[in-house]
A and B are shown apart, each in its own frame.
Chain A
Amino acid sequence: MAQVSGIADDQSSRTKTLRIARFNPEKDTEKQFMEFSVPVEKWTTVLETILDVKKHYDHSVAVRYSCRQATCGSCGMIINGKPRLACFTKVSELDSDVVTVEPMNNFPIIRDLAVKFERLFDTHHKIKPYLVRDDTELESDEKEFSQSPEELEQYIQFANCIKCGLCNSACPTMATDSSFVGPQALAQAYRYVADSRDKGKDSRLKIIDDSHGIWRCHFAGSCSQVCPKGVDPAMGIQLLRGYMLGFRS
């Protein structure tokens, strides 16, 4: 890839080199990297260094972010080769003098580090991410749907998903199969199937019982290794497959 000369005029004693991938799909054919020398402290996050570059060197760098506390799932990107949240990754923990940031793999690029999430949200919506029941707890003569702590434990881990897309970016099947549902949606399918209040198990299993559905997962486990919220999609998918194969009911 072509290399663009960067700005490196910060003479602070604690500086790192930040390499930012630049790509505009409307006019570029290849990613280019711009290098910046950025000041860092022990607690500085990768997102803060990118925002530092935007503020002081080049405001045109495109990056999506919001909460800065690993809650909104907006700032997923490839940091030194692995998908991570920029706000949740400290520069000091990367143990490298050079920090390279690129847009997440397996997502269309809007510009630079910002990618399109339409397909992630479409597949998420496809598996019916809500309780399916004939009755409702909203009517005045109904009580809330009770649930024991043990029943809650069955799915609460998977309810932590922030839809950041890191799992889909790390998945080896997503790397080659454009039609694969993906670990994010499959883990969410498990989240609702395992919910004792839900009655939509059969319809959900029917949706994912497809050649590009749950059967395309080969248990590489990369999705779970990059999840910043401990969701463990690989576990959810295998447990979900247990339902499909009749090992669980």
Chain B
Amino acid sequence: MANDEHKEGIGGMINPTRYGIERVAYWMMRLSGLGLLAYFIGHIYETSNILRGRAGWDEFLELTQTTEGHLLLAAVIGMCVFHTVNGIRVMLGHGGVGVGKPARPDYPYDPASQNYRHKIGIYSAIILAAIAMMYGMAVMFGE
């Protein structure tokens, strides 16, 4: 056991279960960010296939026309929408918007910064991501 600092580490950072929906949003934000980064790298590789000519391009593009390809793209749509909507919420919060006003706290000390506006923002991001994914799948699988 590394006692130097007794850090909780990555495992503690990504554990979304203990601190409410705000910590879940924090975890999903990182997960979707990493997912989009992976997609971005994959997308660069994918578009580089144009150097193989039209046949090579068409051949690689067919990979996205499979069931697995559609599910992957649906996940990308979901991550993109969640990351965007929740990112706007977080940016507003970082500017001090919607985090409440300082006041004498009363027991049981519900934190004003974890208010309904931000909770609505988080749930909106999740719901919009789910709707976008369902619409994307309807388009892709409905062909």
A residues with a Cβ closer than 8 A to B are 23, 25, 28-31, 81-82, 103-109, 115, 153-158, 160, 169-170, 172-176, 178, 194, 218-222, 224-232, 234-236, 238-239, 241-242, 245, 247-248
| Shortest Cβ distance from A224 into B: residue | B111
Contact count A vs B, C-beta below 8 Å: 145
A218 to B23, CA, bound (A): 10
A107 to B3, CA, bound (A): 9
A155 to B101, CA, bound (A): 10
Partner pick for A220 among B7, B22, B103, B109, CB 8 A cutoff: B22
Given A155-B102, A229-B109, A175 contacting B95 (CB threshold 8 A) = no
Partner pick for A106 among B7, B20, B93, CB 8 A cutoff: B7
| Shortest Cβ distance from A25 into B: residue | B3
A232–B26 contact, CB under 8 A? no
B residues with a Cβ closer than 8 A to A are 1, 3-10, 12-14, 18-20, 22-23, 26, 29, 90, 93-96, 99-100, 102-107, 109, 111-114
Inter-chain pairs besides A25-B3, A153-B104, 15 sampled, C-beta below 8 Å: A23-B3, A103-B6, A109-B3, A157-B103, A175-B7, A176-B7, A220-B23, A224-B114, A225-B114, A227-B109, A232-B112, A235-B111, A235-B113, A242-B96, A248-B96
